[in-house]
Every structure is written in C-alpha cells, then in structure tokens.
Structure 1
Amino acid sequence: MTKFKLEWVIVNEQAGMMVREFLKLKRISKRALTDIKYFGGDIKINGKSITVRYNLKKGDLLSVYFPTERPSASILPEELPLKIVYEDDHCLVINKDPFIPTIPSREHPSGTIANGLLAYFQKQNLASTIHVVTRLDKDTSGLLLVAKHRFAHSLFSTEQKQRNINRTYLAITEGIFPKISGTIDAPIGRKDTSIIEREVRREGQKAVTHYQVMRQFGDKSLLCLKLETGRTHQIRVHCAHLGHPLCGDTLYGGKRDEINRQALHSSELTFWHPILEKQLSFKAELPADMEALVNQTGE
C-alpha cells in the first residue's frame, strides 16, 4: 500500500535548522513524530533515513512518510459511484447525491460515502481510512470535504475551528419571508423527547445562521444560507423556528407532498488548504429534485 508523504526542498533560509524545528513549523506535532517513529513511518533526507536532530542543508530533499492507516473493521469497501469534483494527495471534495448517508450507522450500515471511498482508496492502493471533515445528513445533497490521511484531517479540523472552512447552502422553505435577509441567532439543543430531533432552547449551544431570500414563488421561498456555527440540523431547526420549515422536512414540520426529502443543498464550499497553502472554492448546482420544485412552483 502507498503511504502518504510530504516533501520539501530546503531553501537557504531553512538551512541549519534541525528537522524537528522545521517540521514543527509545518505543524507536524510531537505526537505525529512519535507515530512516525514507532508505527512504520520514516523521515528521509535525499532518500536516506535520518533522525529529527539532523541539521538541514540547502538543496536537501526532506521526505516524511506517515504510517499506514488501518480502516475500521466496521466499514466495508463497496464499489459505489462517487461524484468527485476535486482531488489531490491530501483531500477530496465530493458532490453528494441525496438519500446517501455520509458514514455508516445502525440504520444504514452500508451504501454510504465512506463505504464507497474505502473501495476507491483500495483501488488506488492508498493506505488510508475515512476522515470526513464536513459531514452532510443523509437527505442533504451537495459538497462535502474529506481528508485522505490523519495529518491532513488534523489540519483541516484546526482550519474548521478557526472558521476557515465556509459552506453556503440553498434551501427551499415553506412560506414567504417578510424580510429579504436576516440573521437567526438562537441556541440549539437536543429535544428532551428525542435522541435525533433538535430545537431552539435557552440552554442550548450558540447557533448563528445568516439567510438571504433569493426568490419567492407561490407559498415558498428559495434561500441562500451561511453558517457561523455548525450545530446538528442547524438550518432545519432555525428555519422551522421562524415558522418556515424546509419543504420535505417532516421531522421539523415540513410537508412532503412535492419533494420527498428536506430541500437542502450544500452549494458552495470554500476553504484554506493548509498543506498546499492556498484558498480553494467549489460550487454545485441545485440537484434535479430541488430544481424541479423551484420551476414547477415558479411557473
């Protein structure tokens, strides 16, 4: 299996640094170095193994090989179609269809994005398990970010905490909004009578959603939404709290007479790539069922 590696050619300003110091600047932690040392990784200069005490020289090729990752025994590889819109050595961006879970659960042990990715990695002979950075609910469609190795996942998790991973959603809701834009700042917590359902409640976690009405038609609205926080079911709960549940979202009061899932789509994904050190941005058009609902109701 191919191990993930990172490589740098040492420039004049880095000459004289110990490998340990250089890798710290590249955000490789002591724990990661311990894993590399004891669990099958390696650090090489110009193809020869060295210790982290090696003093770098200009022109050196420094290679860091990460240990082989072992997939969870609970996730089995399955050949599934994956709409990959971007891929490099460290991450993938996938445009997920509705009705597909992101990861296996008791209710859906197979047929998930994770199952498909595991088969995809094995086909490429990649030593990797599944590291989902931005998960989507089963019935929500659109863009999601997956890291291809543990180190990338840790860096993306930090970027997420620092709000450097931004998602934009499109939703179709019931009812007409009196204001064309607004901010919903209402804490969200688990409903006492359910292990799944959430609600706005005083002792919940802070949750902030910004919305803009893109179009109003019939008795429905097409919204563009951006999240400041990432609470479970945040958009669904906040829209229902305003009295405008998502079309098809029966869990939060929506009707399923015109679409058979919550009308929610992750339409844009923008993030800072911590390894390539550049900003990346992707868009995904409305899926057919939401497009049909807009067109059908908008005539």
Structure 2
Amino acid sequence: MEFTVVTAEDGWTIENLLRDRWRLGRKIVHEMRMQDAVKAPDGGRTRWNEPLPAGTFLSIRTPDAKSDYVPETCELNVIHDDPHCLIVHKPAALAVHPNEPGGTGTLMNRVIARFGPYAEHVHRLDKGTSGLVLIARHPVAKAVFDRMLEEKAIRRTYVAETAGAFKKRSGTVSAPIGRDRHHATRRRVSPSGQHAVTHYDVIREDGDRAIVQLELDTGRTHQIRVHLAHLGHPIIGDVLYGGRLSGDGSYRLHAERLSFIHPFTGKSLDIEDSVRPEWLP
C-alpha cells in the first residue's frame, strides 16, 4: 500500500518522521529503508538524513504483509474507513479474533474478507461487549496506533447498565487486576495484579439501575466488569461478576466512542457508534 504525507515544518528528515513523529521500531524502519519505501511523489529518491522544507510531499510504501485470518463474508458495519484505519461495530456475542490459527466466526474474519490482505485490531472487546473496534489497515499504522494506545492517546468511552444506586455519581477506580486462581477465566482486584484505572460518571439512575459512562486509562482483561463489581455495582447480565440476569441473557456493556488525533492526517476524530443497544435510553 502507498500513501502520501506532507512535512509539517522545516528541517524534518525522513528519519525524524519515522522515528520521532511516528516512533516506529528499528525493525520496521530498517525494513522500509531496505525496500526504499519513502520517495518523492515523482518517484525520485530522497536521502533519509536530508532536512526537508515544510510542505514537502513524500510517498510512502508500507511493508508487504498479510494477515492470517480466514476470510468469511458476513455482515460488517463500518463506521469509519480511511486508508490507514477502520472503525467497525462489533455486535455482542461475536469475538474480535479467533483463539487459534484457522479459526472462523469472528469480527476479524469478516474484516479481512472485505479489506484484506492485511488488517489487525488495535484493541479488543470482550465477546459479550458490543461497540467500536479500531483496526489498522497496514503495518505502519498498526505500530503507530499500538503506541498511541499504550500512551493513552486514544480515548475510549463505554456505557454500562449496572445494579444499585451509586453513593458517588462520579469517580475513579484505581485497583490492580489479576487472575482469579479459583476460576479459569475470571479476573479479580488483587494487590499483585496489573495496574488498572477506570473513570466513571453516572449519567442516569432509575430505581435500582443506573446508566454509567466510563473511560479507560488502561486496557486490562475484563477491566470495566471487574472494577464495577469491585464498587458493588456489577453490570446487569454479567453473571460471571455477580450481576443479575438480563432479559435476553447478555450483559449490558457497550463501547460507544473512540476519539484521537489521526497520526497520518493530523485531523481530530471523534467517532460515535451509530448502532445503539436496545437497553440504552
């Protein structure tokens, strides 16, 4: 895949762009150098350590890559699509990716069928969680978005329906999460677990139910589910963490929004899922 970028200020070199702005790893930068992957739009060669004036156009060819997902043509709701990334809606009860090579029946099987040969998810949602998933469309984008996620430059907003009336309508849960040694798939708040931070705001209460908006600083397995249960407000339908049954057997957690500065265009993206769960007011 090829795309064009424009230098934003005087004095930048190709090395600056790849290593400092996009902060790509040595391996991928070396591979791009060996493939002569950065050129002037007319095809001419540009020295990687040559300072360039602002407004210089560069043509970048990403390393060849192919994802291992088996294509599977099924319904796919694409909320945002550009040459570098996709944002797609994942229905509840659909896994993001297979757990083993050659697996099918997941979101990524659907994505690769439409957008292959390369696509990789930047983050995951639990199988029972619905909402937005960010997907990189080439290896350079995957490396950049992975770094942005790690550095909290991608804002992820969720909503959940929970049980019980909150004493505090907003707050932050900073509680480490680790495995529950008594259950193969469950997690728990544990002093020896991984650092995990969740911010919450109660946006609506109705009797013993509440709609809560949440944002993540970290992305631990089952983080929101564990932290809400730790507060004494498990998600309705999330029986793994003590929630009471919902009418349809699912649990009520939805990834409703993704916000970030696009690393390749510089534009601010604030994407809201156009598919709303029935339980949201």
What TM-score comes out, normalization by structure 2 length?
0.87
Q: Does 1:63 align with 2:59?
A: yes
Q: Secondary structure at the match of 2:202?
A: strand
Alpha-carbon distance in structure 2 between the residues aligned to 1:199 and 1:250: 14
* 2:63 alignment partner AA: P
The Cα shift of 1:47 comes to 3.3
RMSD: 2.7
Choose 1 or 2 for highest CA Rg.
1
- The one-character-per-residue Cα deviations of 1:65-97 (angstroms, maximum 9, x if unpaired) are 12211222xx20011221111111101111221
1:270-281 equivalence runs, <5 A: 270-281=259-270
Per the alignment, do residues 35 and 178 of structure 1 end up closer, same or farther by CA in structure 2, a change over 3 Å counting? same
* Structure 1 residue corresponding to 2:10, chosen from 5, 9, 13: 13
Q: Does 1:4 align with 2:6?
A: no
* 1:297 equivalent in structure 2: none
Per the alignment, do residues 20 and 180 of structure 1 end up closer, same or farther by CA in structure 2, a change over 3 Å counting? closer
Per the alignment, do residues 103 and 54 of structure 1 end up closer, same or farther by CA in structure 2, a change over 3 Å counting? same
The Cα shift of 1:192 comes to 0.8
* Structure 1 residue corresponding to 2:222, chosen from 197, 211, 233: 233
Runs of 4+ in 1 over 6 A off after TM superposition: 56-60
Per the alignment, do residues 212 and 193 of structure 1 end up closer, same or farther by CA in structure 2, a change over 3 Å counting? same
Alpha-carbon distance in structure 1 between the residues aligned to 2:211 and 2:130: 15
Q: Does 1:144 align with 2:152?
A: no
Given that 1:141 and 1:287 are in contact with CA atoms closer than 8 Å, whether structure 2 keeps it comes out as no
Alpha-carbon distance in structure 1 between the residues aligned to 2:149 and 2:171: 24
Q: Does 1:193 align with 2:182?
A: yes
* 1:44 equivalent in structure 2: 39
* 2:103 equivalent in structure 1: 109
Q: Secondary structure at the match of 1:81?
A: coil
Per the alignment, do residues 22 and 137 of structure 1 end up closer, same or farther by CA in structure 2, a change over 3 Å counting? closer
Given that 1:99 and 1:140 are in contact with CA atoms closer than 8 Å, whether structure 2 keeps it comes out as yes
The Cα shift of 1:259 comes to 3.4
* 2:166 equivalent in structure 1: 177
Q: Secondary structure at the match of 2:71?
A: coil
* 2:238 equivalent in structure 1: 249
Alpha-carbon distance in structure 1 between the residues aligned to 2:49 and 2:102: 49
The Cα shift of 1:29 comes to 4.9
Given that 2:120 and 2:142 are in contact with CA atoms closer than 8 Å, whether structure 1 keeps it comes out as yes
* 2:211 alignment partner AA: L
Alpha-carbon distance in structure 1 between the residues aligned to 2:214 and 2:233: 14
Q: How many residues align?
A: 279
Q: Secondary structure at the match of 1:289?
A: coil
Given that 1:41 and 1:67 are in contact with CA atoms closer than 8 Å, whether structure 2 keeps it comes out as no
Alpha-carbon distance in structure 1 between the residues aligned to 2:8 and 2:77: 39
Given that 1:20 and 1:52 are in contact with CA atoms closer than 8 Å, whether structure 2 keeps it comes out as no
* Structure 1 residue corresponding to 2:78, chosen from 84, 108, 124: 84
- The one-character-per-residue Cα deviations of 1:258-285 (angstroms, maximum 9, x if unpaired) are 2321200011211121111222101126
